[in-house]
Amino acid sequence: MGANGNEAHLPYIDVNEGTARLMNNTKIYLSILKKFDAVPLVEEIVAAAADADYERLQRAAHTLKGAAGNLSLTRFYEVAFAIEQRAKEGASDDARLAELQEVLAGSTRAIQSLLAESE
């Protein structure tokens, strides 16, 4: 990863912050990113919203927010946080749910690109 590697993956991943969380161990960070699979959580969020099950929606969004925060997946964190807050209010936000799908695609591309650069 070059010095400008972080900028190439923003706004989806803050590589500098993510590696700093792991004592600047890039190898471990990339290993964890490689295993990260947000698809089941995104599917759970979408299903909970469709069922108007706000407790389940809040729980799934909270789980995604935590995982994203730990990995410095900035856009995932932001969108999951917003969805979690709306669920606490007993509502869902169709625009945020649509954005979540976009963030899933963008984050997946960013992670794949980052992993390919590191090989």
Q: What is the dihedral of CA 27, 33, 34, 38, to 10 degrees?
A: 170
DSSP 10: T
Confidence of residue 3 (pLDDT cuts 50, 70, 90): very low
Residue 9 pLDDT exceeds 70: yes
> Are the C-beta atoms of residues 34 and 119 closer than 8 Å to each other?
no
Mean pLDDT of 83-109: 95
Length of the chain: 119
Q: What's the CA gap between 35 and 69, in Å, rounded?
A: 15
pLDDT: which is higher, 1 or 96: 96
Place of tokens 């964890």: 32
Residue type present at position 39: V
Confidence of residue 8 (pLDDT cuts 50, 70, 90): low
